[in-house]
Amino acid sequence: MLQEMVDSLQLPKLLKFNDGSLVTSAEDWQKRRKEILDILCEEEYGLRPPKPFKVTAMLNSINEIAYAGKIIEQHLILSADMGNKIFSFPVNIFVPKFVKKPMMIVYIAFRPDLPDRYLPIEEITDEGFAIAIFCYNDVAADREDHFIGGLAGLLKKKGDRTSNDTGKLMMWAWAASRVVDYLETRNDIDQKNIAVMGHSRLGKTALIAAAYDERFAFSFSNDSGCSGDAITREKEGERVEQITNSFPFWFCPKYRKYARHEDIMPFDQHFLLAAIAPRFVSGGAAVEDIWADPNKQYLSYVAADEVYKLLGKEGFVHPDRLPQVGDIFNDGTIGFHMRYGKHFHSRYDWQRYMEFMKKHRIGK
């Protein structure tokens, strides 16, 4: 049933090179993955900013007895050396003291508050996870500022944005990789189990971060929907037209041309998920989040599964039907859950992602 649904969407093929030849081995996939990452830069998110020469950290303050003495809380400023310029942004790290080398979640946050309504820090660290948090607005403002501030200002070229110029989702995703540059220097966390996570626009960002940076062993995208984990073809709710009208600055200018012409896109969102293979990816949906379209989110994971299978992974383990409230599919390399309620990053979602990571911890 599901396969027929996926087939009827006539999605661009994951396992076919741009020249039409077939992708039949893991080796082929390495090349195909590069093509896919290039297509997504070129057509949707814009070019990836260059890797900095060096990332350094400055510790602003530390509290060794945070949350009843259970947690070490550190406030840092990371600085990325971009050659002729330096880009700096704050990162806050919470490490539980009662576990040796905890798994680490890089969380891309909406707000600077610690904790906030989407981010129950104490519950997360009580589960034995360390968490590194940065606020996306500290990287590039989430509004039409004509790309003058933050990383956007630093990358800005003369004149109007055109073609494949970098959008802000890609900038936020780039910053998540800078956090990993820094985390790699620490020996108090589990380097093999670093995840990236975000909700909604930042769920889209988390997927981009993982697709382009193989150091993320896990990625968690909560309610990310349009231009994130949901297939765009025949999607309910938000589509390319609405998203590029409201948030043109999230994308490269070229993406807009697919408004009402989704059928000619040389990609769809299963490309983004497949670029994460063979690593772990898990998505959350909410039954009332029609704007994101839970069914099209789910079908995207179903469609990405063939790449995991080609790479010898278990992929997506799920029944042959659309998702229902209360479903939790976490046996395979791809996970998915659908909860009751609306668009929100809830405690329930956090529990599912942490459960998934504990279950699949690498090297346990």
What is the binding site for ligand GTR (CB under 6 A)? Answer: 200-201, 225-226, 238, 243, 246
Between residues 226 and 304, which has the closer beta carbon with respect to ligand GTR? 226
CB atoms within 10 A of CB 127: 17
Closest CB 204 distance from ligand GTR, rounded Å: 7
Residue number, 79 or 346, with CB nearest to ligand GTR: 346
Q: How far is the CB of 166 from ligand GTR (least distance, A)?
A: 18
Q: In the complex with ligand GTR, which residue's Cβ is closer, 52 or 225?
A: 225
**Shortest approach of ligand GTR to residue 312 CB, angstroms?**
34
Toward ligand GTR, which CB reaches closer, 40 or 103? 40
Please state, in angstroms and as integers, the Cα–Cα distance from residue 242 to each residue in 227, 237, 291, 326, 328, following that order. Answer: 11, 9, 11, 29, 30
**Closer Cβ to ligand GTR, 205 or 282, answer by number:** 205
Cα 181–Cα 186–Cα 190 angle in degrees, nearest 5: 95
With b meaning 16 or more CB within 10 Å and e meaning fewer, what string describes 194-219? Answer: bbbbbbbbbbbbbbbbbbbbebbbbb
Helices in 71-147 by DSSP H: which ranges?
121-126
Which amino acid is located at 218 in the chain? F
Nearer to ligand GTR, 5 or 290 (CB): 290
Of the pair 79, 221, the CB lying nearest ligand GTR is at 221
**Residue 283 beta carbon to ligand GTR: minimum distance, rounded to whole angstroms:** 14
Contacts of residue 7, defined as CB under 8 A and 6 or more positions apart, other chains included, come to none
H helices of the chain, in order, are 2-8, 26-40, 66-69, 121-126, 150-155, 168-183, 201-212, 240-246, 269-274, 294-310, 347-360
**CA 217 → CA 97, 200, 317, distances in Å?**
23, 20, 19
Q: How far is the CB of 46 from ligand GTR (least distance, A)?
A: 17
Please state the closest distance from residue 36 (CB atom) to ligand GTR, in A: 22
Could you give the dihedral angle defined by the CA atoms of residues 78, 83, 86 and 91, in that order, rounded to the nearest 10 degrees? -20
Measured from the CB atom, is 162 or 246 closer to ligand GTR?
246
CB of 275 to ligand GTR, least distance (A): 20
Strand partners, 280: 218
Contact 207, 171 (CB under 8 A): no
In angstroms, rounded to a whole number, what is the distance separating the alpha carbons of residues 42 and 297?
23
User: How near is the Cβ of 235 to ligand GTR at its closest, in Å?
Assistant: 11
Cβ burial of 59 (10 Å; 0-12, 13-18, 19+) is: exposed
